[in-house]
Chains A and B, each alone.
Chain A
């Protein structure tokens, strides 16, 4: 089980934020982050805890291992408004966290 916190954040442009994802058991570094905007398809941001996907700006950075993971976003922009999900591949079935909604 992946637990994300907080549920919702309201921030201003230019601010920075750190999203949290906690796993109920050790998933090593087998964790990804996705961005999902309303009416759009999800987008892979980070895989294997820290590896940014192609085309993802450097202001998105993932950290963590074991059970505690974070996604940091610096210099928030209006287009960063979305729900962010973590997802683990350590055990089947693949599971997602409940998501953190970020409002800019």
Chain B
């Protein structure tokens, strides 16, 4: 069964750091680009970052560029999101998601990790 499981969510003070992880199983992880997408309380979905299957390409939303870093370890089927200098408006549920169709859509999602900056 294809699955993504996030971990690492926590409560952190403004200016602090946090690292989210997402472990994949049931599919060929090394063949897929991976994303992080977030949803702030009462808001809609917001794309955060992408890493290509071969780590050559990383892309970020303007709101997080320079503060967040996406990485992956294909040997462990894991993708990470290192979040530094966290702000109040980074509070959200963070989902990892598998990319398809040139990384453009998200066809498999994790259950989400709650990050609260307070």
Residues on A facing B (Cβ under 8 Å): 30, 32, 34, 36, 41-44, 47-48, 53, 83, 85, 87, 89, 92-99
Contact A98 B44 (CB under 8 A): yes
Q: List 21 A–B pairs whose Cβ atoms lie within 8 Å, in order of A's numbering.
A: A30-B104, A36-B45, A41-B95, A42-B97, A42-B106, A44-B105, A47-B101, A48-B101, A53-B107, A85-B44, A85-B45, A89-B102, A89-B103, A89-B104, A92-B59, A93-B47, A93-B59, A96-B47, A97-B44, A99-B44, A99-B45
- Where the two chains meet, the residues of B that have a C-beta atom closer than 8 Å to any C-beta of A are 35, 37, 44-47, 50, 59, 61-62, 95, 97, 100-107, 109-112
**A33 and B100 alpha carbons, distance in the complex (Å):** 14
Nearest chain A residue, comparing its CB with the CB of B37: A42
> In the bound complex, do residue A42 and residue B45 qualify as a contact, i.e. CB atoms below 8 Å apart?
yes
Chain A, Cβ-Cβ closest to B102 = A89
Residues in A whose Cβ lies below 8 Å from that of B102: 89
Contact A89 B101 (CB under 8 A): yes
Q: Is the CB of B100 within 8 A of A47?
A: yes
- The closest CB in chain A to the CB of B98 belongs to A44
Chain B residues within an 8 Å CB radius of A94: 35, 47, 50, 104
Q: Which residues of B contact A96 (CB under 8 A)?
A: 44-47
Nearest CB of chain A from residue B51's CB, rounded to whole Å? 14
CA separation between A83 and B111, bound complex, in Å? 16
Q: Are B105 and A89 in contact (CB under 8 A)?
A: yes
Between B50, B59, B106, the greatest number of chain A beta carbons within 10 A of the residue's beta carbon is seen for: B106
User: Inside 8 A of B45's CB, which chain A residues have their CB?
Assistant: 34, 36, 42, 85, 87, 96, 99
Contacts of A95 in B (CB 8 A): 47
Q: Which residues of B contact A48 (CB under 8 A)?
A: 101
**Docked complex Cα distance between A99 and B43 (Å):** 9
The answer to whether B62 and A93 have CB atoms under 8 Å apart is: yes
On whether A42 and B104 interact (CB within 8 A), knowing A93-B62, A95-B47, the answer reads: no
Minimum CB–CB distance from A54 to chain B (whole Å) comes to 8
